């Protein structure tokens, strides 16, 4: 039996598949960030916190209203999206005329508030959230045991990612959006309400984070700190992909998930850092990121 650097191929396949699953989380989160950045020029530091809120909404729905996973899949992103729109209308929208850095700082503060408040209310030990009955169990693929839920996560997030990409790059609505980023005044003159469109975009971007939160709830702990560590990695993904590039975010998210999966086999201690190493290398060679345009 042949092996690669001492690792049998079936282990490698297994790890790559797992990497793809993680990558689809990265893709979903970085997609939201990229949409927001592309349209609003805001680095949404609160993205990780809103991902956490999404997971918590799912847990709250189950605990207090008895509404299960499938309801949460619809309601939680909606709730997070509405929260996002409220934040955008009341705070973020005041900052567009200023340096973009203020958007980053504002959302950083919002992230602290959201995480602190949930921590204060629910503690940090985390809350259990079961895998929905329909997706329990798994398939034996020969080289590994693939839980059905993980397969569902990959399918769901890839569908959403490419759906979003299609909507923005290939439809009329997407064309308006892109035009509004380039020249808001002109688009406004065509009779399109740009501020509303911007709010909706932000709402949509954070709804994606909320959705990722619901998808994550059954496999990770529902805890106020779940977004804190993830967000930094997702930032790196967005930077590597080229900020604002939708396709870049998706492809880089998946690619880095795979790379991280491999790192977990060969040098597991470094699996949290490999993303940053890649980032430094990419920036040295291509400062605008893999899919970014030089501005």
Partner 1 sequence: MRTLLLAGTALLTLAGTAIPAAAQVSDNVIRIGVMNDRSGIYADLAGEGSAIAARMAAEEFGNKVAGAPVEIVVADHQNKADIAASKAREWVDTGGVDVIADVPNSAAALAVQGITKDKKRIFLMSGPGATALSGAQCSPYGFQWTYDNYAMAAGTGRALYEQGKKKWFFVTADYAFGQSLEEETTKMVKSLGGTISGSVRHPLGTSDFSSFLLQAQGSGADVIGLANAGGDTVNAVKQAAEFGITQSGQSLAGLLMFITDVNALGLQSAQGLMLTTGFYWDMDDQTREWSKKFEAKAGKKPTMVQAGVYSAVKHYLKSVEAAKTDDADKVTAKMREMPVEDMFAKKGRIAANGRMIHDMYLAQVKTPAESKGAWDYYKIVKTIPADTAFMDPKQSGCALVK
Partner 2 sequence: MTVASNATTIAMRGASRGTGTVLIAALLLAVAIAAPFVLYPVFLMKVLCFALFACAFNLLIGFAGLLSFGHAAFFGGAAYIAAHTVKVWGWAPEFGLLAATAVAGAMGLVFGLIAIRRQGIYFAMITLALSQMIFFLALQLPFTHGEDGIQGVPRGTLFGLFDLNQPLTMYYTVLAIFLGGFALIWRTVHSPFGQVLKAIRENEPRAVSLGYRTDRYKLVAFVLSASLAGLAGGTKAIVFQLASLTDVTWQMSGEVVLMTLLGGMGTLLGPVVGAGLVVTLESYLAATSLPVPVVIGCIFVVCVLVFRRGIVGELLHRLPKRGH
What tokens were used for 225? 């700190």
Distance of alpha carbon 271 from alpha carbon 262, whole angstroms: 9
15, 248, 251, 283 from 276: Cα distances, Å = 20, 16, 16, 10
130, 238, 282 from 53: Cα distances, Å = 17, 21, 32
Interaction partner, residue 9 (partner 2, partner 1, none; CB < 5-8 Å by kind): none
Instruction: Give the helix ranges, DSSP H, for 217-272.
Output: 226-241, 246-266
For residues 210 to 239, the per-residue mask of contacts with partner 1, x marking binding by CB under 8 A and - elsewhere, is: ------x--xxx-x-xx--xx---------
For residues 211 to 250, the per-residue mask of contacts with partner 2, x marking binding by CB under 8 A and - elsewhere, is: ---------------------x--xx-xx---x-------
CB of 281 to partner 2, least distance (A): 10
| Residue closer to partner 2 (CB basis): 162 or 276 | 276
72, 129, 144, 228 from 69: Cα distances, Å = 5, 9, 26, 23
Q: Decide: is 12 part of the binding site for partner 1 (CB under 8 A).
A: no
Q: Decide: is 156 part of the binding site for partner 1 (CB under 8 A).
A: no
- Those residues whose C-beta lies under 8 Å from the C-beta of residue 236, and which sit 6 or more positions away, are 275, 276, 278, 279
131: number of Cβ within 10 Å: 17
Interface pick for partner 1 out of 120, 159, 173, 186 (rule CB under 8 A): 120
Interface pick for partner 1 out of 52, 150, 202, 208 (rule CB under 8 A): 150
Positions that interact with partner 2 (CB under 8 A): 41, 43, 91, 94-95, 98-102, 104-106, 108-117, 119-120, 232, 235-236, 238-239, 243, 269-270, 272-273, 276-277, 279-280, 283-284, 287
């Amino acid at each position: 039996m042949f092996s690669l650097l001492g690792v049998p191929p079936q282990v490698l396949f297994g790890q790559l598949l797992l990497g793809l699953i993680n990558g689809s989380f990265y893709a979903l989160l970085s997609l939201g960030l990229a949409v927001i950045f592309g349209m609003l020029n805001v680095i949404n530091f609160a993205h990780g916190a809103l991902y956490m809120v999404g997971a918590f909404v799912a847990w709250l729905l189950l605990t207090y209203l008895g509404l299960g996973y499938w309801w949460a899949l619809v309601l939680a992103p909606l709730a997070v999206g509405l929260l996002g729109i409220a934040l955008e209308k009341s705070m973020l929208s005041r900052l567009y005329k200023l340096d973009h850095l203020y958007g980053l700082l504002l959302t950083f503060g919002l992230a602290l508030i959201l995480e602190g408040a949930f921590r204060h209310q629910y503690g940090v030990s985390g809350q259990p959230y079961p895998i929905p009955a329909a997706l329990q169990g798994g398939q034996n693929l020969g080289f590994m045991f693939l839980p059905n839920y993980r397969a569902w996560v990959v399918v769901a997030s890839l569908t959403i990612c490419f759906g979003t990409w299609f909507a923005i790059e290939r439809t009329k609505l997407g064309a308006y959006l892109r035009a509004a980023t380039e020249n808001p005044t002109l688009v406004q003159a065509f009779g399109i309400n740009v501020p509303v469109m911007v709010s909706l975009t932000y709402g949509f971007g954070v709804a994606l984070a909320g959705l990722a939160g619901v998808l994550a709830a059954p496999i990770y702990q529902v805890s106020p700190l779940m977004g804190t560590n993830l967000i930094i990695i997702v930032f790196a993904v967005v930077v590597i992909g080229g900020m604002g590039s939708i396709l870049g975010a998706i492809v880089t998210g998946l690619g880095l998930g795979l790379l991280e999966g491999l790192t977990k086999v060969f040098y597991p201690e470094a699996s949290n850092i490999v993303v940053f190493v890649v980032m430094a290398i990419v920036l040295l060679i291509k400062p605008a990121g893999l899919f970014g345009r030089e501005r």
